[in-house]
Structure 1
């Protein structure tokens, strides 16, 4: 057990790190942020900040020596240096979860081994491989880089075989995965937290709506028609956590297709679709992540209201803050970022019903 008064090291300085630090403070923990760049959002609310590159193994080791336990809030970090960091301080979630989640092909194969069902897919290593993949999967389809893709980045749609050249150029010829389109009823995510003792708690599964590859809103409870798919998704997510001996919050995204749950991707960290838990659940995903990695008992995950909706504030939408604050049912979270670029998550607002 890591007792209150200790320092939690967080690799990554974005809004997820910011909300982790805010959740850790009431429990008596200090947070030390490690990230590139100057004064990232998480550093504004943390006790300490170290500026360093994610692939600088020596700097990460020095950082780890200054904290009592380490976690991360961003999975596009080289797994090698992060694994070496674990030799200097206890690290959760486990590096193996990061390694699998960083590679879409490895991720899908791992889920298949556990009995999960992803959308139809094929590996694409070169331009000829894309033609072969399309011959097997057909179009429409979506080409995704195996690594470093999030919020719609590193992706290209192929509506017909004639789109292949443009799609291959769009991913810069990087090793990729071709996924067949799925006619789904909706998207949802399973959010769970697993403690070091193996206990797992789950939150209500939110229905997620994406626009342009970016999460627009998450709503709980999900439609009743999603219930069979959610039950199957929860079983698979729990199996993933068990297989990885996972500690902390894990998010697994699914497509609901009839009563089936088609695996989309997993995130070995706190997740955007769980932001509603700050006001909408007895214990937020951020607090339970802190509890899990520090060896504390996990908190209850029951809803605090009949339902909740979280909406991301993207780009200039953050300028709507006066109107949002005028709504007594709204809970505003601004991330302290500078330029409100198109597609950039600047904050979110949660409304309880």
Structure 2
């Protein structure tokens, strides 16, 4: 079945805040959502029609899940590719397992992007300390050592400033397959979120600037303060990657803008993205409605914004500021239904809209 009409059943792998906002968007469009994940009383399950609490490798649970839905998508990429392959034999899965095979592994991801002729930081695969020494001799310092898999929000990575100080850094990686990347002196980090439908139609949200605190996204400014030429190039890159990877769904492409206005792709995320939360208030069709349209085979909506915006993450105890946030009538507050606040934990976000003629 190519098109899933309203009234259909959407399965979401993953049960966090992205799944929560996807489920809410789907419900507004007349769909029923069944969320699958390991967490009890998860943010997504709180607002979904059905939920299954199980491991992603539980085949009995996966069988029942597949029977209950018309299409399956995901809210984060660290799901076993074997799970997607298994489910795809029973029901359409969008995006497919190959997309995850590439985006789960930083080395495969960089190779894929480089083979398209799109710029990235210089990089090298590292399987042991001897390869790390060789990679540093080629790439130089400072450089960034990252685990190939599972790292996010600054986890699983370390900066190398001196080639003589690598022993404790490699021990910290615990021998995990890694990638060494050149340290990029960038003036701005941006991201573009692109949707691609079953028929190959694409739609891009404008490039936005992302500012981090302790390696975690703190603020997104929409749009990014870059030239029209750079903005167009960033969107072209996102569309080319989404097309060549055969995406159905949503892809966030994180990029660096260097001091000489070169664009280098940093990472890919085949799902809704934290840097797209501003679209809920600032666009006629936000990123969560857009992914539902894409995976259900519907025509994509216009991504054009009707306002500029500033989105700020509420991390850890920032959530305690909700009374102050609501004192400003122009703030839109989103809380994720999570339990205990922890340092760096994304508890919610707040978006403020600005006129189109005012820079964020």
For structure 1, list consecutive stretches of 5 or more residues without a partner in the other structure: none
**Following the alignment from structure 2 to structure 1, what is the Cα–Cα distance between the partners of residues 169 and 180?**
11
| TM-aligned CA deviation for residue 270 of structure 1 | 0.7
- Of the three residues 89, 92, 103, the one matched with 2:91 is 89
Which residue in the other structure is 1:41 paired with?
A: 43
- In the superposition, the TM-score normalised over structure 1's length comes to 0.97
| TM-aligned CA deviation for residue 59 of structure 1 | 2.2
Is 1:224 the counterpart of 2:203 in the alignment? no
**Following the alignment from structure 1 to structure 2, what is the Cα–Cα distance between the partners of residues 272 and 61?**
31
Pairing of 1:208-219 with structure 2 (within 5 A)? 208-219=210-221
Pairing of 1:24-103 with structure 2 (within 5 A)? 24-103=26-105
Pairing of 1:1-353 with structure 2 (within 5 A)? 1-225=3-227, 227-257=228-258, 258-305=260-307, 307-353=308-354
Extract structure 1 runs of 4+ deviating beyond 6 A: none
Q: Deviations over 1:11-61 (max 9, x none)?
A: 000000000001011110011010002111100000101011122244223
Once superposed, what is the RMSD of the aligned Cα atoms?
1.1
- Match of 1:129, SS state, is helix
**Following the alignment from structure 1 to structure 2, what is the Cα–Cα distance between the partners of residues 7 and 163?**
54
**Following the alignment from structure 1 to structure 2, what is the Cα–Cα distance between the partners of residues 131 and 228?**
39
**Following the alignment from structure 1 to structure 2, what is the Cα–Cα distance between the partners of residues 315 and 88?**
40
Q: Deviations over 1:87-133 (max 9, x none)?
A: 11111112211110001000000001111111011110001111111
Say how many residue pairs are matched. Answer: 351
User: Is the contact between residue 94 and residue 244 of structure 1 (CA under 8 Å) also seen in structure 2?
Assistant: no
**Following the alignment from structure 2 to structure 1, what is the Cα–Cα distance between the partners of residues 293 and 214?**
34
- Match of 1:106, SS state, is helix
- Match of 1:185, SS state, is strand
- Match of 1:224, SS state, is coil
| TM-aligned CA deviation for residue 217 of structure 1 | 0.8
User: Is the contact between residue 84 and residue 96 of structure 2 (CA under 8 Å) also seen in structure 1?
Assistant: no
User: Is the contact between residue 194 and residue 201 of structure 1 (CA under 8 Å) also seen in structure 2?
Assistant: yes
**Following the alignment from structure 1 to structure 2, what is the Cα–Cα distance between the partners of residues 72 and 224?**
31
- Match of 1:279, SS state, is helix
**Following the alignment from structure 2 to structure 1, what is the Cα–Cα distance between the partners of residues 236 and 200?**
15
User: Is the contact between residue 206 and residue 235 of structure 2 (CA under 8 Å) also seen in structure 1?
Assistant: no
**Following the alignment from structure 1 to structure 2, what is the Cα–Cα distance between the partners of residues 49 and 174?**
34
- Match of 1:237, SS state, is helix
